[in-house]
């Protein structure tokens, strides 16, 4: 029996990669230093796996920004607008790569970044490949080969991880009309062949093709292409051990397609879908090996050895142990690095820590499962098995988890708790009486730049170097400065800036009961941006107000309206590590009630506009369409439970980013938020069509500039976008705002951009 993981986290145990990349972008370190950081991280990752006894150690699972962008560069699918960057001799290959990820604004060039979107149903974001009808591919970057060579030099015999060709095309976007990107497969495959030839020439024996789309809804054409692609690769590389990895759902109707591909190993995500195993075992041909994804790559709970071993034995009985591989369910990219780094009892009490496993521990779990199945009599292993089962038992019975009053309150929820008193049109009138907002009200999404300084206050405060009073004073000054600046440039609805928050979910998690925190449990979200998801281990409730202090302070110093700013229940759920001992919907409604308490307190404190951010609603959608309705029902209900218990005159906003709305527009409308602000600028307002086709009745603020890039938009660009929006949405329904919060931006670009945004709005008010 062999073991493998599908990929290891790459940000470094202490986020070394994040720091190195950001220093490189700021011109503070040289390329050589950045490359050295990469070597250290990959070597360390390989060492950990080798020490644990993992058999198939992945390489090319590292990335400086995103693995899809890496492949795009390797395949030479570089959008034309980056030609000037590529041709400039001063720029390294990596500079071109970062330009594609982040846009490029120097040497008199002004090039927008490639689009970014969520990786399946995770909170990881990838850079979307752009395809044209006559798209050419060429073997542009040797980085895949180079990583293999450097792994070999370090003494490893790794398998190379590649995104499979079909998945790669499906991940991309057609930039011209009238063609199907899947038809590019014949142009694409020869480059894959070149890469594989190179790898084989240098001694590669195993390739893992990630093909998660095999676990999704795909059409007949795609199925046929899957067959052709792997037949061709098989024919060209008869000696190569070819693995196809599926994850995030089960094979379901694609089972016979997948098991009959001419490959050597098929990987299944058994954490997401255990039922598929029996079907696969019934249909599996004699040559195929099966990789059992048993250790959860997406969550932090300790593996239940008893359950895993039952599953392994089930498979071993049917196909024999030499054909079974024990594995992580998906790449460990979505797991934090190392539980051993969590030494602070206040953050993560040992009672809770006892229930958890991070990437490094998961690697050991995988190795343990193999060893124990091979040597069930070995004393040391038996001891470890017992320890594991004891921890599992302690968790099911822990008093930290179950709170009677939370369960009772949820039982008592009434249908009327899910809707506002009046219909939107009536509320709109009532609200306008109070708020007196102009045409095209301007606002921002909430956060303002979290400067080094602001961050340093927080870290000093946490270390006890600042008293609560000193810390609050500093934040108040920053908040006041931000309020004054917004007033000065003429924004209509202000925000306090969210300086007191490290992260929009962590902040609430820290204040809510039922949550625990790691000190170092970072997970990559996009590029150098990492998040530290809270751990929801128990029943959730709110003991005291969480945001009223800051919102009332900000409102008290301004004559303009200041929005209260909350994170919605679905997003808190979606961006946390969620307990797996009750349905997610139950946990979500518990959070909704806690947010409802906060909404009521804000309203009572005189806050007239309250924004409840739900950027994660869409990413929570199950990957298979048949499961959507069930999810959308409880997700929408949770939002409404949190937001409906206010008077008509209180204006509820919500915010979503990086979403396509077409297929869920009825659910978005069902949220019945008075105003929704959405990311829109990278898609040139295309996303608004869904709202206009639906005759979406409530107000909408389509983002008029992209905040994920440091690029400053021109006034004219924004005018054009707002005009475009005004053509499809009645002007009295439109708000003007950036795409998302500004916390990751610097003040310099933020100031310029918002001044232009207000100027653009003023110009348009003259016209409309
Ligand atoms: N209010 C949050 C902010 O501005 C929203 C962030 C988000 O949508 N991801 O930071
Ligand atoms: Zn956003």
Mean pLDDT score across all residues of the chain: 96
612 lines ligand 1 (CB under 6 A): no
Note whether ipTM > 0.90 here: yes
500 lines ligand 1 (CB under 6 A): no
Distances in Å between the alpha carbon of 208 and those of 30, 57, 291, 505?
33, 11, 11, 34
- Closest ligand, as measured to the CA of 740: 2
Q: What is the number of H-type helices and E-type strands within the chain?
A: 28, 23
554 lines ligand 1 (CB under 6 A): no
Per the DSSP assignment, residues forming a β-bridge with 577 are 535
Question: What is the tens place of the pLDDT at every residue in 244-295?
Answer: 999 999 999 999 999 999 999 999 999 999 999 999 999 999 999 999 999 9
Q: For domain 2-15+47-64+114-397, which architecture applies?
A: Alpha-Beta Barrel (3.20)
| pLDDT over threshold 90, residue 675 | yes
Q: How much of the chain exceeds pLDDT 90, in percent?
A: 95
By residue count, the chain amounts to 768
Ligand 2 centroid to Cα of residue 740, in Å, is 4
| pLDDT over threshold 80, residue 62 | yes
Ligand 2 centroid to Cα of residue 413, in Å, is 30
Return the ligand 1 atom nearest residue 565 CA: 1
Domain boundaries, the chain: 2-15+47-64+114-397, 405-415+425-767
Q: Which helix (H) or strand (E) holds 245?
A: strand 241-245
Nearest CA to ligand 1 atom 1: 446
Instruction: Give the chain's largest Cα–Cα span.
Output: 82
- pLDDT number for residue 229: 98
User: Nearest-5° angle of CA 102, CA 103, CA 108?
Assistant: 145
Q: How far apart are CA 130 and CA 460, in angstroms?
A: 44
Instruction: Name the H helices within 154-243.
Output: 165-171, 185-201, 220-236
Ligand 1 pocket mutation, candidates 116, 118, 445, criterion most atoms within 8 A of CB: 445
- pLDDT number for residue 488: 98
Return the ligand 1 atom nearest residue 447 CA: 4
- Closest ligand, as measured to the CA of 508: 1
530 is in an annotated binding site: yes
- pLDDT number for residue 681: 84
Q: Binning pLDDT at 50, 70 and 90, where does residue 361 land?
A: very high
Question: What is the tens place of the pLDDT at every residue in 588-633?
Answer: 999 999 999 999 999 999 999 999 999 999 889 999 999 999 999 9
Q: Binning pLDDT at 50, 70 and 90, where does residue 107 land?
A: confident
Please answer whether residues 302 and 388 qualify as being in contact, where contact means their C-beta atoms are separated by less than 8 angstroms: yes
| pLDDT over threshold 80, residue 640 | yes
Residue 628 backbone class (left: φ over 0; alpha: ψ -120 to 50; beta: rest): alpha
For domain 405-415+425-767, give the fold.
TIM Barrel (3.20.20)
- Strands 577-578 and 206-210, how do they pair? unpaired
Residues 489-499 as b or e (16 or more Cβ within 10 Å = b): eebbbbbbbbb
Pick from 517, 447, 443: nearest CA to 479: 447
619 is in an annotated binding site: yes
Q: How far apart are CA 10 and CA 62, in angstroms?
A: 6
Question: What is the tens place of the pLDDT at every residue in 447-469?
Answer: 999 999 999 999 999 999 999 99
Query: What's the mean pLDDT in 76-89?
Result: 96
Strands, E assignment, 29-157: 58-59, 116-118, 125-127, 130-131
679 is in an annotated binding site: yes
Query: What's the mean pLDDT in 81-88?
Result: 96
- pLDDT number for residue 710: 86
Give yes or no: 402 in active site: no
197 is in an annotated binding site: no
504 lines ligand 1 (CB under 6 A): yes
Distances in Å between the alpha carbon of 590 and those of 406, 503, 577, 631?
7, 21, 15, 16
Nearest CA to ligand 1 atom 6: 741
Ligand 1 pocket mutation, candidates 117, 123, 446, criterion most atoms within 8 A of CB: 446
- pLDDT number for residue 1: 95
657 lines ligand 1 (CB under 6 A): yes
- pLDDT number for residue 660: 82
- Strands 651-656 and 675-678, how do they pair? parallel
| pLDDT over threshold 80, residue 28 | yes
- pLDDT number for residue 180: 98
18 lines ligand 1 (CB under 6 A): no
- Strands 289-295 and 699-702, how do they pair? unpaired
Please answer whether residues 512 and 562 qualify as being in contact, where contact means their C-beta atoms are separated by less than 8 angstroms: no
Query: What's the mean pLDDT in 672-676?
Result: 98
| pLDDT over threshold 80, residue 659 | no
- pLDDT number for residue 682: 78
Query: What's the mean pLDDT in 510-533?
Result: 94
Ligand 2 centroid to Cα of residue 630, in Å, is 25
- pLDDT number for residue 56: 98
Question: What is the tens place of the pLDDT at every residue in 110-140?
Answer: 999 999 988 999 989 999 999 999 999 999 9
16 is in an annotated binding site: yes
The catalytic position among 125, 334, 496, 708 is 708
Q: How far apart are CA 546 and CA 513, in angstroms?
A: 12
Question: What is the tens place of the pLDDT at every residue in 298-354?
Answer: 999 999 999 999 999 999 999 999 999 999 999 999 999 999 999 988 889 999 999
- Closest ligand, as measured to the CA of 445: 1
Number of other residues whose CB lies within 10 A of the CB of residue 153: 10
Return the ligand 1 atom nearest residue 567 CA: 1
Ligand 1 centroid to Cα of residue 744, in Å, is 10
| pLDDT over threshold 90, residue 163 | yes
Query: What's the mean pLDDT in 382-399?
Result: 96
Please answer whether residues 249 and 272 qualify as being in contact, where contact means their C-beta atoms are separated by less than 8 angstroms: yes
- pLDDT number for residue 684: 87
- Closest ligand, as measured to the CA of 659: 2
Structural tokens at position 754: 């918002």
Per the DSSP assignment, residues forming a β-bridge with 537 are none
Per the DSSP assignment, residues forming a β-bridge with 2 are 325
DSSP 605-653: TT--EEEEE-TTTGGGS-SSGGGHHHHHHHHHHHHHHHHSSS-TTSEEE
Q: How far apart are CA 72 and CA 633, in angstroms?
A: 37
Query: What's the mean pLDDT in 170-193?
Result: 97
Backbone phi, psi, residue 464, to 5°? 85, 10
Nearest CA to ligand 1 atom 5: 741
Same fold, 2-15+47-64+114-397 and 405-415+425-767: yes
């Amino acid at each position: 029996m062999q073991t493998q993981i599908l990929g290891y986290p790459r940000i470094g145990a202490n986020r070394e990669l994040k720091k190195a990349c950001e220093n490189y972008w700021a011109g503070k370190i040289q390329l050589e230093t950045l490359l050295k950081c990469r070597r250290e991280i990959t070597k360390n990752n390989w060492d950990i796996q080798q020490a644990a006894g993992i058999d198939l150690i992945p390489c090319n699972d590292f990335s400086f920004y995103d693995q899809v962008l890496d492949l795009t560069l390797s395949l030479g699918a570089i959008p034309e607008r980056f030609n000037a960057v590529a041709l400039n001799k001063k720029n390294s290959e990596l500079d071109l790569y970062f330009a594609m990820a982040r846009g490029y604004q120097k040497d008199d060039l002004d090039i927008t970044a490639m689009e970014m979107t969520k990786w399946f149903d995770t909170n990881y974001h990838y850079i979307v490949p752009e395809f044209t009808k006559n798209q050419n591919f060429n073997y542009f970057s040797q980085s895949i080969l180079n990583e293999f060579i450097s792994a070999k030099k370090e003494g490893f015999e790794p398998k190379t991880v590649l995104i499979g060709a079909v998945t790669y095309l499906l991940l991309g976007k057609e930039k011209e009309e009238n063609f199907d990107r899947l038809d590019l497969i014949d142009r694409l495959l020869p480059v894959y062949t070149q890469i594989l030839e190179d790898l084989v020439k240098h001694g590669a024996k195993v390739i893992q093709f990630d093909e998660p789309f095999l676990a999704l809804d795909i059409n007949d054409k795609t199925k046929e292409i899957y067959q052709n692609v792997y037949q061709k690769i098989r024919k060209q590389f008869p000696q190569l051990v070819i693995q196809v990895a599926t994850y995030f759902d089960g094979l379901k109707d694609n089972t016979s397609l997948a098991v009959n591909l001419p490959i050597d190993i098929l990987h299944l995500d058994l954490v997401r879908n255990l039922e598929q195993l029996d079907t696969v075992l019934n249909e599996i041909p004699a040559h195929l090996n099966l990789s059992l994804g048993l250790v959860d790559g997406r969550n932090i709970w300790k593996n239940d050895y008893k359950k895993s071993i039952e599953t392994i034995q089930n498979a071993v009985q049917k196909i024999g142990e030499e054909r079974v591989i024990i594995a992580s369910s998906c790449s460990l990219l979505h797991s934090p690095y190392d539980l051993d780094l969590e030494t602070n009892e206040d953050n993560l009490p040992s009672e809770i820590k006892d229930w958890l496993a991070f990437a490094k521990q998961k690697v050991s779990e995988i190795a343990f499962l193999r060893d124990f199945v091979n040597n069930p009599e070995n004393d040391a292993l038996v001891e470890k098995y017992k320890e594991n089962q004891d921890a599992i038992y302690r968790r099911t019975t822990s008093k930290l988890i179950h709170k009677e009053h939370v369960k009772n309150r949820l039982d008592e929820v009434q249908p009327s708790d899910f809707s506002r008193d009046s219909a939107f049109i009536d509320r709109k009138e009532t609200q306008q009486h109070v708020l007196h907002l102009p045409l095209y009200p301007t606002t921002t999404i909430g956060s303002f730049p979290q400067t080094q300084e602001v961050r340093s206050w927080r870290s000093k405060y946490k270390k006890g170097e600042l008293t609560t009073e000193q810390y609050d004073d500093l934040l108040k000054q920053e908040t006041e400065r931000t309020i004054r600046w917004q007033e000065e440039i003429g924004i209509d609805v202000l925000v306090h800036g969210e300086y007191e928050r490290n992260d929009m979910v962590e902040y609430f998690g820290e204040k809510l009961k039922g949550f625990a925190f790691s000190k170092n449990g970072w997970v990559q979200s996009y590029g150098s941006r990492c998040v530290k998801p809270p751990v929801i281990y128990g029943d959730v409730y709110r003991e005291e107000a969480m945001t009223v202090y800051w919102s009332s302070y900000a409102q008290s110093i301004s004559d303009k309206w200041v929005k209260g700013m909350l994170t919605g229940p679905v997003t808190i759920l979606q961006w946390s590590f969620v307990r797996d001992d009750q349905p997610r919907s139950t946990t979500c409604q518990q959070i909704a009630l806690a947010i409802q308490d906060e909404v009521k307190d804000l309203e009572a404190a005189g806050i007239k506009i309250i924004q409840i951010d739900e950027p994660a609603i869409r990413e929570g959608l199950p990957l298979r369409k048949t499961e959507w309705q069930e999810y959308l029902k409880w997700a929408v209900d949770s939002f409404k439970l949190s937001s409906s218990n206010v008077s008509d005159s209180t204006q509820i906003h919500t915010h979503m980013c990086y979403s396509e709305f077409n297929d869920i527009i009825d659910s978005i409308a069902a949220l019945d938020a008075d105003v929704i602000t959405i990311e829109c600028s990278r898609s040139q307002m295309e996303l608004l069509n869904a709202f206009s086709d639906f005759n979406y009745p409530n107000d909408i603020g389509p983002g008029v500039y992209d905040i994920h890039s440091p690029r400053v938009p021109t006034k004219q660009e924004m005018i054009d976008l707002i005009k475009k929006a005004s053509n499809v949405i009645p002007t009295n329904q439109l708000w003007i705002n950036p795409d998302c919060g500004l916390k990751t931006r610097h003040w310099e670009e933020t100031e310029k951009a918002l001044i232009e945004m207000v100027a653009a709005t003023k110009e348009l008010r003259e016209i409309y």
